[in-house]
Structure 1
Amino acid sequence: MPRTGGQVIVETLEDLGITDVFGIPGQHALALFDALEGSSLRYTSARVENNAAFAADGYARATGRPAALFLSTGPGALTSLAGLQEAYASGVPVLVVCAQIPAAGLGGARKGFLHQLVSQASAAAQVTKAQYTVRHGSALPQVLADAHHAALSAPQGPVWVEVPQDVLLAETLTEQHIDPREPDAAAPGCAEQAAGLLARAEKPVILAGGGVARSAGADSALRAVAERLGAPVACTGAAVGALPLDHPLSVGSWVEDRAVTDLLAEADVLLALGTSMGEVTSNYFSLRPRGTVIQVDANPAVLGSNHDVLGVCADAGEFLRRLGAGLPAGLSARAGEERAARVREAILRRLDGQDLAHERAFMAALRRAIPSGAATYWDMTIAAYWAWNLWDPREGLSATAQGAGGLGYGFPAAIGGAVARGERTYAIAGDGSAMYSLAELAVAVQHKLPVTWIIIDDGGYGILREYMNDTFGRAVGTELARPDFLRVAEAFGVPATRCRIEDAAAPGAAEELVEAIATASEGTGPRVVVCETSLRMFAPS
C-alpha cells in the first residue's frame, strides 16, 4: 500500500533494528514525527536539539548501537551540531534523519523558504562521517541502510540523512525492505609484525585510548595481552578503567603526570591503541617516544598524526585478539609490575605535595556514593578532570565530553543512558555547565527517567577560573549568577537535596554528600543533588 516518505523511513529504521528516537519536531519534519504513531519506535522528546544529540550519544555509549535523531530544518539542524561534534570526535554512532525544505529550494534554486540554507548538509559535514540528501522516496530504504552501515563501521560516528519536506509527505509505492548489514570488519593490519616487535621488547608499555573503551570485548583482550607481555598499561581519560585500576600492571589514567609521560617515552616498544596521542594524552605534546611506536586506530587519519609510528588501521579489540594469539608464552617476567608500581608511587608523591586532600576525599566520596556498575556521564567540570585520571568505573560506564570538550553534555547524555539501560544513571556537572541543560529536566519528568543529576556549585566556570588565574593572575568573565537549583528542580516536580562541603577531608564531612546521593538513588524518576563546594585542579607536571 502507498506510504508517505515519513512512514517508509520509520519502517526502514525498524528493519534496521533501531528501537529508539530522540529529537524535536519542526514544521518541515511533521510527516516524519507523524509516522512514529503506531510504530514500534520509542520516542524520547528533547527541549534543545544539541541536547537531543547528546542524549543519542549517551544512548549509543550505553548500548553500542545507534539511536535515530530526528531534526527539523535550519535552526533546528544547526543547533544540533555542537552535540554531534562530540559524537564525531569520540567515534559514537548516531543516525541523524533531518528534514529539508521542499526539493524545489535545495541549493538555493528558489529563494524565500522558511529555515532555508544554501547547503544544510555542508554545515553538518564538519561533524558527521557522511551526508546524504534524498530526493525521491524510493531511495529512502537503501540510503538509510547505507547510513546505518556507515555509522557502525569503523571508525564509528554520526551520519546525516536529510529528506525534503515534500518527499516526507509524498506517497510512494516502494516495497523495498532492508536487512541490516554487519559493520565492516577493520583490516587485521600488521598484528604479526607487532607481535614480533613486542616479543623482543625489554620494556614494552601499552597506552589504551577511547578506541579500546568503545570496542566490544577489547578490555578483556587488553588485559590478556598486558599480562602475556608483562607490560604496564596507561589509559587515557576516554578509556579510564579499561584495565582495572587495582590491577598490578595499571598506572591509571594520569597521562598529565610526568612519571607516566616518562614511562611512555622510555618504552622500547609503545603500543598505542585507539588514541591519536593528542594534546592531553601526550602531556601537552611534551611526550618524545624514544622507542618504536605501534599505533592502532580504526581511523586512518589518526595514524602518525603526532609521531612517527608503525601504523595499523584496525579496530582495537580485533587487533588485540589477533595480537594475543600471536604472542609466545613466557614474556611476562619483565618487571612490568615493579615498573607500574614505581609510577603509581611517583603519582601519589606528587599529589601528596599539592594540598589536594579536599579534592581527593571528595572524589572518593563520590565513588562510595554512586553504586558499582552504574553509568556515569561527566560534564566538562573540575570533577570530570579528576575523574579522567582516577575514576574507577567498577564494571560500569564512565562517559565524558572529552572528545570535543563542549559544555552541557552530562545530563542529556545520562537521559539517553537511562532510556537505553532502563536503570538509574548519574550525571555530574558544574553550575555553569548545568545551565546548558536545565530545560531537559522536563524531559526526565515527562518520560519518568531515573537520572540523578549531581550539580557541583562553585559559583562560576571553575576550571576556566583556574586557567585564567594561573595564566593572567586574575579571572575575567568566569563568575556567574545562577538560580537556586533546588527551587528550579522543585518547580519541575523533581525531588532535590542540597549539601555544603568546605573540606571533604575533615572527619565525617563527606558523608553528607554520600547520604544525599544515596537518597537521590532511591525510587523512580529524576533526582537532583546540589553540592556547594569548590574544587581545585591538580598541577600538571
Structure 2
Amino acid sequence: MIDVDPGAAAPGASAEPGTGARNGGDLVVETLEALGAKTVFGIPGQHALGLFDAMGRGNLQFVSSRVENNSAFAADGYSRATGEVGVLFLSTGPGALTSLAGLQEAYATGVPMVVVASQIPLEGLGARRKGMLHQLDDQKASAANVTKSQRLIQHASGIPSAIQDAWTEAISSPQGPVWIEIPQNVLLDPIMVPPVEDALAEAADNPPRVELVREAVKWLQGARRPAIIAGGGTRRGNAEQSLLSIAEKLRAPVICTPGGNGAFPWTHELSLQSWIEDRYMTDVLEDADVLVVIGSSLGEVTSNYFTFEPRGRIIQIDAEPRVLESNRPGLGIRADAGQALAALDEALAPAEVAVDWHGSTPEELVKESLTKVKARLESQDLAKELAFMADIREAVPADMQTFWDMTIASYWGWSCWDSREGQFHSAQGAGGLGFGFPAAIGAAVGLETLGKTAGSARVLAVSGDGSSMYSISELATAKQHNVPVTWLIVDDGGYGILREYMVGAFGKATATELARPDFVKLAEAFGVPAVKVAPGDVGDALKAGFAADGPNVVVVETLLKMFGPTHLGD
C-alpha cells in the first residue's frame, strides 16, 4: 500500500501554479536529460506549459525560435552539426502543424530528432468534446508523412519509456524524427512517479545479410569499370574510411551527391567530386560495369533528372528499404551504410582483374572528366559565378560547417563546394525554403554546447533574398542568444532559380519578382551588424564577419546564373 500525504494534491488534480510540484512535464525533462539531451528548441504554447514549467526545474538549455518551422530546422541543424539527437518542443494544433515542413527535411535527410508535442486534455480527444482551442481531429496523423512514427501518451507513468523508445528509434538507421504527443493534463497533473534516474537508448543493429555481401564482392572482384556514388547515407553511417579503402582497392572513381558531399576526399585522384548534374559525369556512371550506390535513392538530382541510363549492374546499399530499387533494379542491400561498407571492405581484396576504362586508367578518366567539366563551365560565360563561389570557399575556414538554403548559390554549392574538414549541409532532402539560417543557429548552439569556443563554433548560412524572408524573424533568436552565425544573403530581387527555370522553359518568368526589405537596415533593427558589399568583395566581408562576435549579416546584390549540364545541341 502506498502512503499518500493527505495534504498533497490528489492524483489527477492540477498542480497549483508556482508550487514547484513535480508533474508529467518533469518526467519529460528528466528522461531527456538522462538520455543525454542538453538543448531543446521550440516555442511555448498553452497546452505545453507543463513542459516549460518543468524545464525551470531542470538543466536543459532552451532556444526559443519565432516560428515553429524554424525551430524544427534549428533542431535539425543542431543534430547535423553535433551528431546528437535534436529535441523539439511544440504546442498543440497550429504550432504542431507549422513545424511540419521543417520535419519533412529532417525525415527526408535522415536526421535523428525527438519531437514532443502537447495535446488538448484527454477528455477532449476524439469526438468526446469539440470546440477546444487548437483542437485537431487527429494531430499525430498530420505528422505521419514527415516522421518515422507517432505516439500518444495517455498516462504520466508511460512518459519515460515512451521517450526512451522514441530516442532509440530516432538513432536507429534509417535515422529520422520521431513524434510524441502528450495531453495538457498529463503534463500538468501531479504525479506519484519517482524522478527518472537513468535511461538507455542504443541504436538497433542494422548489418547487411551475409549472402548479399558475398554476392556484391563477387561482382566487384570481377569488375573492369567499377564506380561509386556516395549519397547522404554514407555520411550518416560514418562510412567515409571504409568508402576510401574500397575505392582504392577497386580503383573505382567516386562521385558524391549533394547529401554525400564530403564523404570522399575532394582532391583524391579517384574523386569525381560532386558534379553529379553534369552530363560528362552521367556518361561515366552509365559506362560503369558495376556501380555501387551508397545511401542514395538514385533520385531526381542524382540521376541527372532521370536521364541516367546505366548499362552495367547496380549494387544499392541503403538503410531505408523503401529506397532500394525504387528507381533502378539492382542488388539491394538493406543495411546501415557504415556496417555494410565495413563488411564489404573486410571481404574485398584489391581488384583481381585489370581495371580499364576503354584504354584509360581510372585516374586518367577522373582527370579527363574534371577537365571536360571545367571547359564546359568556361564556355558558358560563368566567370562571375565561378569567382563568387571561389571567393566564398577561400574565405571560409577549412573546418567551418556551412548551411545552404535553396538558392542559386546553393545549387552551385551542391556541385563545386569542397567541404574540406568542415561539413556541407543543404535543404536538398525535401527542398523547402528557409532552412539555412535557422539550421545554422541550431548548429552553432550545438557546437558551443559541445565546448567549442565562439570562434570554432561559428557557422555560415547562405540564403537568397526569397528564402531569407522565410526565416528573417530568427534574427531575433540569433541576437537573443548571441549565436555565432554569419548569414550571407544573395539578393537577386526574386526567386532566382525559378526565374531561370521559367525563362528557359517558357521564354519569360511569372510571379518570381519580389519586393524585399533593405536587409542591412532590417538586421540592424534587430541589433545585428550587417553590411552590403559588391560581389567581388564577398570574401573580405565574410572574413570580417567570421572574426566578429555574435551574429552578423553580409548582403550581396547580384544575379547569379546556373551552369548548364550540357553544351547547347548536346
With structure 1 as the length reference, what TM-score do the two structures score? 0.96
- The equivalent position to 2:494 in structure 1, one of 457, 460, 464, is 460
Structure 2 unmatched runs, 5+: 5-20, 356-360, 449-456
- The equivalent position to 2:224 in structure 1, one of 202, 205, 218, is 202
| Pairing 1:182–2:182 present | no
Larger Rg: 2
1:418 aligned partner: 444
CA distance in 2, matches of 1:330, 1:462: 46
Q: Secondary structure at the match of 1:520?
A: helix
CA distance in 1, matches of 2:217, 2:372: 30
1:530 aligned partner: 555
CA distance in 2, matches of 1:455, 1:194: 46
CA distance in 1, matches of 2:83, 2:490: 29
2:470 aligned partner: 436
CA distance in 2, matches of 1:389, 1:456: 18
Q: Secondary structure at the match of 2:265?
A: coil
2:329 aligned partner: 308
Correspondence 1:52-451 to 2 at 5 A: 52-175=71-194, 177-189=197-209, 190-216=212-238, 218-329=239-350, 334=355, 335-422=361-448, 423-451=457-485
Q: Secondary structure at the match of 2:533?
A: strand
1:331 Cα deviation from its structure 2 partner: 5.1
CA distance in 2, matches of 1:399, 1:180: 29
What amino acid sits opposite 1:100 in the alignment? Q
CA distance in 1, matches of 2:65, 2:351: 55
Between Structure 1 and Structure 2, how many residues are aligned?
531
1:330 Cα deviation from its structure 2 partner: 5.1
CA distance in 2, matches of 1:448, 1:432: 25
Would the aligned equivalents of 1:4 and 1:168 in 2 still touch at CA under 8 Å? yes
1:332 Cα deviation from its structure 2 partner: 9.1
Q: Secondary structure at the match of 1:247?
A: coil
What amino acid sits opposite 1:210 in the alignment? G
1:540 Cα deviation from its structure 2 partner: 2.5
Change (3 A) 1:37 1:331: farther
What amino acid sits opposite 1:523 in the alignment? A
Q: Secondary structure at the match of 1:108?
A: coil
1:403 Cα deviation from its structure 2 partner: 0.4
| Pairing 1:27–2:46 present | yes
1:108 Cα deviation from its structure 2 partner: 3.0
Deviations 1:302-357 (A, max 9, x none): 00100111000011111111111111135596222122122212211221221111
Would the aligned equivalents of 1:142 and 1:178 in 2 still touch at CA under 8 Å? no
1:49 Cα deviation from its structure 2 partner: 0.1
1:174 Cα deviation from its structure 2 partner: 2.0
Q: Secondary structure at the match of 2:547?
A: coil
| Pairing 1:470–2:504 present | yes
Q: Secondary structure at the match of 2:130?
A: coil
CA distance in 1, matches of 2:517, 2:351: 61
1:178 Cα deviation from its structure 2 partner: 4.4
Q: Secondary structure at the match of 2:563?
A: coil
1:179 Cα deviation from its structure 2 partner: 2.4
CA distance in 1, matches of 2:275, 2:330: 23
What amino acid sits opposite 1:147 in the alignment? A
What amino acid sits opposite 1:403 in the alignment? G
Deviations 1:411-467 (A, max 9, x none): 000001101112101000001101111110111111111000000011111000000
Q: Secondary structure at the match of 2:180?
A: strand
Q: Secondary structure at the match of 2:546?
A: coil
Would the aligned equivalents of 1:228 and 1:332 in 2 still touch at CA under 8 Å? no
Would the aligned equivalents of 1:145 and 1:178 in 2 still touch at CA under 8 Å? no
RMSD of equivalent CA atoms: 1.3
CA distance in 2, matches of 1:534, 1:221: 41
Q: Secondary structure at the match of 2:524?
A: helix
CA distance in 2, matches of 1:362, 1:345: 20
1:518 aligned partner: 543
Give the share of equivalent positions with the same residue, in percent: 55
Would the aligned equivalents of 2:277 and 2:565 in 1 still touch at CA under 8 Å? yes
What amino acid sits opposite 2:304 in the alignment? N
Change (3 A) 1:332 1:349: farther
What amino acid sits opposite 1:145 in the alignment? Q
1:177 Cα deviation from its structure 2 partner: 4.5
1:43 aligned partner: 62
Q: Secondary structure at the match of 2:49?
A: helix
Would the aligned equivalents of 1:132 and 1:160 in 2 still touch at CA under 8 Å? yes
CA distance in 1, matches of 2:100, 2:416: 30
Q: Secondary structure at the match of 1:295?
A: strand
Change (3 A) 1:248 1:72: same
Would the aligned equivalents of 1:267 and 1:289 in 2 still touch at CA under 8 Å? yes
What amino acid sits opposite 1:339 in the alignment? L
Q: Secondary structure at the match of 2:512?
A: coil
1:3 aligned partner: 22
Deviations 1:124-166 (A, max 9, x none): 1010000000000000011101110111111000000000000
CA distance in 1, matches of 2:540, 2:229: 37
